[in-house]
Every structure is written in C-alpha cells, then in structure tokens.
Amino acid sequence: MSARTRSRPFRESSLGIFFGVIFLAALVGQAVAGWLAFNDEQLAQGLGRIGLADYLGSAPFAADVAENWQSEYLQFLLYITATIWLLQKGSPESKELDKQGLESDEDQKVGRYADPDSPAWARVGGLRTTVFAWSLTIVMGLVFVLSWLAQSVAGWASYNETSLQQLQDPISWPAYLHNPDFWSRTLQNWQSEFLAVGSMAVLSIYLRQRGSPESKPVGAPHASTGVEG
C-alpha cells in the first residue's frame, strides 16, 4: 500500500479529526484550569483543596461544560431550521432566493426521485423518509435539550453547594430555573452564539476567504446568494 493510499482516510476525514483533537485538548485545558481556579477559591474561603478526579465529578465542572454544549447545539439547531425559510441576499450561508422552504421531492432527491446511491431511508418513503429528512434537526435538538437539562441540574447542585457554605437554605430545582444565576449562565452563552452566526451570515456578503466553502468565490458579486467557493 502506497503512502498516498494510507494517508487518504486521514485526508478525507481531516476536518472531523482536527476538530475532535482540538475539542479534547480544550476540554482537558478547561478541566485543569477550572480545577486550579476552584482550589484557589477553596483556599480563599478557608476550605481544603480537592483532587482533579473529584473536580471532574463536581457540579461546577459539569455545569460549566453543559452550559457551553447546550448553547452551541442551540446555535446550530436554530441555524439549520431558520435557513429553511429565512434568506439573506448575498450570503453563502443562505439558500438561493428562489429555494425558500422545504423544496420539492425532486430537488431533495426523495422517493422516486432518489438516486441509486441515495441513502435507503431517502428512497423508501413514508415515516422513515420523514424521520430521515428531519434527522439532523432531531439529533441537534435532542442534544440541546439533554445538555440544557444537565446544565440546569448541575448548576442547581453547584448553587446549593455555595448556599450551604454561606449558611443559606438550598432551593428546589424548579426554583433554580427561575433564579437569575441560571439565566445569567444561559443567556451569556446564547447571546454570543447568536452574534457569531449573524455576523457570519452578514459579513460573508462582502468579505471573502479564498478556498473556503464558507465563503463565496473571491470574484463573486456581493449580491450572489447561496454560492460557495
């Protein structure tokens, strides 16, 4: 087997591998930095240090991770569904202006319009095709809901731990869902995700990055919509 053949699987999956590696590196970095910061706070309050393993199983770490995950998946969930019907003239992040909506079976290669190599569930019709047609949204939505629930439970536990340390009464989970601490954690992530997505959709009308599918070709007119470079 030639070196070129051996490297082909990596090259064809390099985008996923790259982001998988830097995700794990960032998660490890967050864990270590968060652990050190947590112990600094413990010492400042006259409490003892905890080990890294204990910190990884703690409510503060779980809340920090889950609140980031739920905001990211909410961002993509909204973007995937919004771009079905909403358009942005001149943006490669928008569909072409005449393709608003769910599009026809022929455009989507569904049922009798499917190609021979189309996924099986795109060809069979009925409920399975409907589920497959919405499968990306379903999974993104499910991950968002689960991570939001994890954030709320972990944030609630962390909030009550702090309350007990300050000799205050703990609160119930439903009460925490109405607490400013929960919504401060939640909305500080949501607003940054919404800003990033909106900026990408608008800035890509006028700005370019040669060779990127997230940009129009360098010489494409500003008004070109749904065109990728």
Q: Is 84 found in the same domain as 34? A: no
What integer pLDDT is reported at residue 6 of this predicted model?
64
The pLDDT value given to residue 163: 86
Q: Would you say residue 81 has pLDDT above 90?
A: yes
Q: What pLDDT is recorded for position 141?
A: 95
pTM (global) more than 0.95: no
Neighbour tally for 121: CB within 10 Å: 18
Q: What range does the domain containing 16 cover? A: 1-57
Of 10, 31, 57, which closes a domain?
57
Residue 3 has pLDDT above 80, yes or no: no
Which pair of structure tokens corresponds to residue 12? 């064809």
Q: Are residues 48 and 157 in the same domain?
A: no
Same domain, 30 and 135: no
Q: Tell me, yes or no, whether 131 and 185 share the same domain.
A: yes
pLDDT digits over 160-210, tens only?
Answer: 988 887 888 899 999 999 999 889 888 988 998 999 889 988 999 999 999
Tell whether 68 and 49 lie within a shared domain: no
What would the pLDDT profile of 57-78 be if each residue is shown by its tens digit? 999 899 889 988 999 999 999 9
**103 and 53, same domain (yes or no):** no
**Among 9, 41, 57, where does a domain finish?**
57
Write the secondary structure of 148-203 as one string of H (helix), E (strand) and C (coil). HHHHHHHHHHHHHHHHHHCCCCCCCHHHHHCCHHHHHHHHHHHHHHHHHHHHHHHH
The answer to whether the CB of 211 falls within 8 A of the CB of 222 is no
* pLDDT digit string, tens, across residues 103-144: 999 999 998 999 999 999 999 989 999 999 999 999 999 999
Residue with tokens 């309350």: 163
Q: What's the mean pLDDT in 33-44? A: 91
Tokens representing 63 are 């809340």
Q: Report the chain's mean pLDDT, rounded to a whole number.
A: 89
- Domains of the chain: total: 2
Do 140 and 172 fall into the same domain? yes
Specify whether 52 is located in the same domain as 64: no
184 lies in the same domain as 124? yes
Among candidate residues 127, 103, 106, the one with its CA nearest the CA of residue 118: 106
Kindly state whether residues 53 and 64 are assigned to the same domain: no
Same domain, 51 and 65: no
Residues 103, 183, single domain; the answer is: yes
* Mean pLDDT value of segment 86-108: 90
pLDDT tier, 153 (very low <50, low <70, confident <90, very high otherwise)? very high
DSSP helix/strand/coil, 128:
helix
**Residues near 62 by Cβ (< 8 Å), separated by ≥ 6?**
150, 154
Percent of residues in the chain assigned helix, strand, coil, to nearest 5: 70, 0, 30
Whether 129 and 122 have beta carbons less than 8 Å apart is answered as yes
